């Protein structure tokens, strides 16, 4: 649904590829930072408002409800806004969602998660729509993996810098500052819209909601990969959404130390994403790499669960 079209070698402007990659990586990182910030801010928010800290467990499902709901409108949005226009729209919608947290009313927290999910769900197809025509079959895996580095990079930055600002300024000023900074970033990147939209994939035709699922299930061997993707995504979701809360509530860490733990985990993910992609392109089959990733994730999950309260 993201309209990825690999380019011929002759059609790729080499000078354009790094520029497009840097801009999409910047936007992807911003969206990921905003999405991960709620999990980092949750202990401070729940303490001030006397909410049960377990409310953060509802954030991730609501976020993905928002992401799922926007996925069916992606073709229409790409045809109207182009890839870069949609990417900047995703940053703005996430900023709006974060601003909703400033309201003390619980329904606004639900709305915040849904808005952030809408922006989060739109970002990946938008960036893929930009980079697809600038990508060849020889470098597709590496370029798309570098672009996706923005996902763990944003979460790493959230865990690294947000606890400091929360302790210095409070979570309200930190939240408002991130929302304003996101708007400023969007304005700064507006001149790139016409440039990056000049070369991009054709917007896909509108599809019925279950058509992509049917097409995927019809591909031989795809069901197993889809099952693995479901499990791996759930593990990633648990790590990003619950690690900070788990470290604060169950292990007894302070907010800064818990944020640092999240930052380290996402930093490892940044390097791992590129390394796994390189191994998949050069040394191993994709299925072998996925199996190794599963073993490593299982070991990490067991080690995390074994941490004792301080």
Tokens of 138: 């020889």
Q: What is the DSSP letter of 3?
A: -
DSSP H stretches of helix in the chain: 16-49, 56-71, 74-100, 106-131, 140-148, 150-169, 171-189, 192-196, 211-218, 222-246, 255-282, 286-305
What is residue 62's predicted lDDT score, i.e. its pLDDT? Answer: 87
The CATH number that applies at residue 26 is 1.20.1250.20
Is 310 within a domain? no
Instruction: Tell me whether residue 237 is in a domain.
Output: yes
Q: Is residue 149 part of a domain?
A: yes
pLDDT digits (tens, 9 = 90+) for 114-168: 999 999 988 888 888 887 777 766 666 677 777 777 888 888 888 888 888 998 9
Q: Please check whether residue 297 lies inside any domain of the structure.
A: yes
**Residue 45 placed within a domain:** yes
Return the pLDDT at 247: 82
What pLDDT was estimated at residue 15?
55
What confidence score (pLDDT) does residue 6 get?
A: 45
Q: Residue 4 falls within a domain, yes or no?
A: no
Domain of 167?
9-305
Q: What is the pTM of this model?
A: 0.76
Which two three-digit tokens encode residue 227? Answer: 């099952």
User: How many domains, the chain?
Assistant: 1
* pLDDT value of position 7: 46
Picking from 174, 183, 232, the residue whose alpha carbon sits closest to that of residue 37 is 174
37 in a domain, yes or no?
Answer: yes
Q: Pick out the chain residues at pLDDT < 50.
A: 1-12
178: phi then psi, degrees, rounded to nearest 5: -65, -40
How far is residue 178's CA from residue 162's CA, in Å, rounded to a whole number? 10
Tens of pLDDT, residues 211-236: 666 777 777 777 777 788 778 877 87
Closest CA to 279 of 143, 144, 147, 142: 142
Domain assignment present for 226: yes
Say what the pLDDT of residue 175 is.
93
């Amino acid at each position: 649904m993201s309209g990825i079209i690999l380019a011929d070698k002759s059609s790729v402007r080499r000078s354009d590829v790094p520029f497009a990659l840097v801009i999409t990586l910047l936007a992807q990182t911003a969206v990921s930072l905003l999405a991960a910030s709620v999990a980092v801010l949750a202990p401070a928010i729940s303490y001030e408002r006397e909410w049960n800290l377990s409310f953060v467990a509802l954030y991730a499902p609501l976020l993905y409800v928002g992401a799922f709901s926007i996925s069916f409108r992606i073709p229409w949005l790409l045809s109207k806004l182009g890839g870069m226009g949609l990417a900047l729209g995703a940053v703005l919608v996430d900023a709006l969602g974060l601003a909703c947290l400033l309201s003390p009313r619980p329904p606004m927290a639900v709305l915040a998660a849904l808005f952030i999910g809408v922006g989060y769900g739109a970002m990946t197809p938008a960036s893929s729509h930009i980079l697809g025509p600038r990508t060849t079959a020889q470098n597709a895996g590496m370029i798309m993996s570098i672009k996706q580095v923005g996902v763990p990079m944003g979460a790493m930055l959230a865990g690294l810098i947000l606890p400091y600002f929360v302790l210095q300024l409070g979570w309200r000023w930190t939240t408002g500052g991130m929302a304003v900074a996101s708007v400023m970033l969007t304005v700064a990147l507006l001149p790139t819209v016409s440039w990056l939209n000049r070369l991009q994939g054709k917007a896909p035709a509108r599809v019925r909601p279950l058509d992509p699922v049917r097409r995927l299930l019809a591909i031989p061997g795809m069901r197993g990969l889809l099952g693995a993707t479901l499990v791996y995504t759930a593990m990633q979701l648990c790590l990003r959404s619950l690690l900070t809360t788990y470290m604060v509530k169950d292990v007894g860490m302070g907010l800064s130390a818990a944020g640092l733990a999240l930052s380290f985990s996402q930093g490892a993910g940044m390097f791992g994403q590129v390394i796994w992609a390189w191994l998949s392109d050069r040394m191993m089959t994709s299925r072998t790499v996925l199996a190794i990733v599963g073993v490593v994730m299982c070991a990490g999950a067991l080690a995390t669960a074994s941490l004792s309260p301080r």
